[in-house]
Amino acid sequence: MRTERSHTRLDRVFARLDREPERPAHVGMPRMSRHRIVLLGATLAFYVAIVWAVVATSWLVRLDWQVMFFRPYQQWPELHAFVDYYVVLGQRGPTAVMVAAWLGWRSWRQHTLRPLIALGVSLLLLNITVGAAKYGMGRLGPHYATEIGSNEMWLGGDIFPSGHTANAVVTWGILAYLASTPRARRWLSALSAVTSLGVGLSTVYIGTHWLSDVLLGWAAGLLILLALPWFEPLIARAEARILAVRDRLRDRRGTKARVPAPAGRPVVVRPLTEHAAGAVHETVPAGRAARSPVYLAPGPHTSRAERSPVTPAGSRRPQHTDRHPRGTTPAPRP
């Protein structure tokens, strides 16, 4: 009795991965809807409010100093080992490599460069906006504070807003932005929000950032994700140009590899003997290898049936004198 092995979940996953990659007919792209524009405006207002509260040395600065004097890393020292590893989820290098590897595999499966280009555009916007704000406001961190109760602005620092927090929002949020289904977008949005929230609080726990730095970092990363649909035409043009260059290079290589061989001239093969009744001409068509010339022994050629039987030299058998070639009449015996 023949039984078939039941496929496990792992077998089904690998079978799905081995399918021929196909580019989806319709790739859903987030658009700048009215709801998205309202959310973008609210986030921008929150960003400006945080900056104004820090510059004016308001209650937010006093809260920063209270959290710093609380010293969370001394209150809960058992969390320090975990937080040291968890905060890596906000570093630019490791997170960009992990997300780029996933989006690169997805680009190969779907035959599109949009995921990788969208990641590159978002990271470029992050470097420009967050970097300009950091060096423009020049705020010092808690470990380098010079005066208790001051906002530590324009003193040559580079921590406002928090780069770890903004990078976590953009890097993990781009997965939700590029999700193919609404359900996956909701789950990935919640996951990226929790991850970036944990990264921001981890920097406050260690003491490398003020609490206001983390708030501004969340706002900075969210602004980039909300404004990314405005850059979709640029992403589409970049993808079209890259694919056009690839197709031209592929066609050029294919043309060089498919150079047709020159057509050969017909080859006439003649026998070397001049005693033949007539010359035999054989024309070899182009593209067919010419046969080597035929060398025939001189003299008349007889068929095998007309030849007289010959006894090999050194044989013990007597000569067959009574045998005659075929087609001849034997002489009468006396």
- Cβ-Cβ contacts under 8 Å for 286 (sequence gap 6 or more): 263, 264, 265, 266
Q: For the residues 113-123, what does the mean pLDDT come to? A: 93
Which tokens is 49 given?
């409010």
**CA triplet 126, 131, 132: central angle to 5 degrees?**
110
What does the DSSP assignment read for 246-312? HHHHHHHHHHHHTPPPPPPPP-B---S-S-SSS----BPPTTSPPPPPP---SS----GGGSPP-PP
pLDDT tens across 158-174, in order? 899 999 999 999 999 99
**CA triplet 11, 16, 22: central angle to 5 degrees?**
165
106 phi, psi to nearest 5 deg: -65, -40
**CA triplet 259, 244, 99: central angle to 5 degrees?**
120
Q: Which of 208, 192, 210, 261 has the alpha carbon at shortest distance from 50?
A: 210
Comparing 276 with 132, which gets the higher pLDDT? 132
40 vs 190: CA distance, rounded Å: 18
Q: Is the pTM of this model over 0.85?
A: no
DSSP state of 333: P
Confidence (pLDDT) at 31 = 78
Confidence (pLDDT) at 246 = 86
Q: For the residues 232-256, what does the mean pLDDT come to? A: 86
What does the DSSP assignment read for 176-238? HHT-SSHHHHHHHHHHHHHHHHHHHHHHHHHTSS-HHHHHHHHHHHHHHHHHGGGGHHHHHHH
User: CB of 111 within 8 A of CB of 24?
Assistant: no
Which tokens is 188 given?
């990935």
Q: For the residues 76-99, what does the mean pLDDT come to? A: 91
**Range of weakest confidence among 120-124, 138-142, 295-299, 320-324:** 295-299
pLDDT tens across 295-305, in order? 444 545 554 55
